[in-house]
């Protein structure tokens, strides 16, 4: 085998290894995202349920539901912000 062919095979093997490592990282990231999304779903449902309740409430009684809807919204927003911060933190490169 000549030097060029040997070098090509070496680089090809390195690229294949790097590709496998990238695939593994993507898999871990997807699992992390799935966990985050699943933790957000109940909060999103709670906010939607409060909104649906508000839609069915009379004009006179809606003020009683407003604090619950705002609380559900704030909890959802807080959870989203925390999840976003975790992914930004883990996504930073360490040069």
Where exactly are the structural domains of the chain? Answer: 3-89
pLDDT at 91: 59
Check residue 95 and give its pLDDT.
43
* Residue 94 pLDDT greater than 70, yes or no: no
CA 65, chain centre distance (Å): 30
Q: Say how far apart CA 73 and CA 76 lie, in whole Å.
A: 5
**Residue 92 above 60 pLDDT?**
no
- Which residue, among 84, 88, 95, 92, has the nearest Cα to 39 in the 3D structure? 84
**DSSP helix/strand/coil, 60:** coil
Is the pLDDT at 74 greater than 60, yes or no? yes
Q: Which class in CATH covers the domain with range 3-89? A: mainly alpha
How would residue 90 be classed by pLDDT, with cut points 50, 70 and 90? low
Cβ atoms of 54 and 69 closer than 8 Å: yes
């Amino acid at each position: 085998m000549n030097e060029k062919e040997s070098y090509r095979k070496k680089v090809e093997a390195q690229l294949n290894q790097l590709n496998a490592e990238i695939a593994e990282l993507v898999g871990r990231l997807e699992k992390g995202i799935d966990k985050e999304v699943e933790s957000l779903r109940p909060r999103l449902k709670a906010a939607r349920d409060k909104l649906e309740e508000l839609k069915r409430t009379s004009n006179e009684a809606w003020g009683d539901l407003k604090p619950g809807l705002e609380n559900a919204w704030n909890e959802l927003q807080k959870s989203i912000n925390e999840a976003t911060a975790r992914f930004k933190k883990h996504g930073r490169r360490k040069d």
